Amino acid sequence: MANIYDLSQEILQSEKFESLVSSKAILIERIISAGQITPEGQWYDQSTDEWVVLLQGQAEISYSDATKVHLKSGDYLLIPAHVKHRVDFTSNEPPCIWLAVHGQLITPND
């Protein structure tokens, strides 16, 4: 048993990705961010869809079309595969706790 909010063992100098459930079809991970952002000029271009919920903290995600999304605790979003995006801000007090689900979450006709 574990607790998604337990940060007692975390070292927050670097972002942490923790796989909670992993199979051929899906990956569920906890991400801990404390001020980390995507390096300037880099974009995530993932081969799978990603549904993410920010459980704690505040963050900002931007897309290659210049759209920006400001997230606070409880906000979630679905990022389709191959939609370029980046993390431009994560709070460090409190640190961000994300729950991310990766897989084929959108059917081709959605």
User: Any idea where the domains of the chain sit in the sequence?
Assistant: 16-103
In the block, residue with structure tokens 């100098």: 13
Check residue 7 and give its pLDDT: 86
For the chain (length 110 residues), average pLDDT per consecutive 10?
83 83 97 94 96 98 97 98 98 95 86
SS3 assignment, position 87: strand
What DSSP line would sit under 7-40, residue for residue? -TT--TTS-EEEEEEE-SSEEEEEEEESS--PPT
**Three-point CA angle 100, 22, 86, nearest 5°:** 30
Q: What CATH architecture applies to the domain 16-103?
A: Sandwich (2.60)
Direct distance between the N- and C-terminal alpha carbons of the chain, in angstroms, rounded to an integer: 36
Check residue 8 and give its pLDDT: 73
What sign does the CA torsion over 28, 31, 37, 38 have? negative
In the block, residue with structure tokens 């706790």: 97
Check residue 51 and give its pLDDT: 98
pTM for the structure as a whole: 0.90
Type of residue numbered 51: W
SS3 assignment, position 40: coil
